[in-house]
Chain A
């Protein structure tokens, strides 16, 4: 069965610094991969997704992620953190072999942005 691991439950970054959130998946077949953001007491909002078209995926709010098959990774980055980026981020995987697709979510990474 596929799974997804997010390294680091909490990340603190300075405003203007690089944001790097790590996500690794375990699967012999490259899955579909997603990053979501969640603000307090709200639902999840899609940031970006990888569906095998291009390995570098650009999303909303200046975020991007790169799919690396050799490393089974899909790390999320943003060059310059903004205070509004403080939220929880979830990586999710959906198997390409599924006829419709059950999602598996990572445990989440809480991002704190300091002035």
Chain B
């Protein structure tokens, strides 16, 4: 089945540690996205990528980094510079046409201890 996988489902981190969240898609989509979700705030865009080896900052990129070395993969690193990293993180992908739908992975819940 085609889809988006995120791992791990739950992740615990100590303050001061970097952590990397995995996102893989087999939908052959060109564009991939990372969102952060906090209660009552909807989804906020962290980074997005339209093509391999290229990505752009979203609305809340500070304290995060990404790479796009393969079309299928778009890992997100939450660095120690992110002041409040506890949140639910969602990865999405889409084709790049104007009306194309974004499809979402199951999410990773990150908790900083």
Residues on A close to B: CB < 8 A?
9, 32, 34, 36, 41-46, 49, 51, 90, 92, 94, 96, 98-103, 105-108
Q: Are A101 and B42 in contact (CB under 8 A)?
A: no
Interface size class of B (residues with CB under 8 A): 20 to 34
Across the A-B interface, how many residue pairs have beta carbons closer than 8 Å?
A: 61
Interface presence of B41 (CB below 8 A) = yes
Q: Are B103 and A102 in contact (CB under 8 A)?
A: no
Closest Cβ of chain B to A93, distance in Å, is 12
Partner of A105, one of B4, B42, B97, B106: B42
Partner of A98, one of B6, B92, B98, B107: B98
6 sampled A-B residue pairs with Cβ under 8 A:
A9-B40, A34-B102, A43-B90, A44-B43, A98-B98, A107-B40
A90 and B50 in contact (CB under 8 A), knowing A41-B107, A49-B101?
no
B96-113 contacts to A, CB under 8 A, are 96-107, 109
Closest Cβ of chain B to A12, distance in Å, is 17
Closest Cβ of chain A to B88, distance in Å, is 8
Partner of A106, one of B6, B42, B50, B88: B42
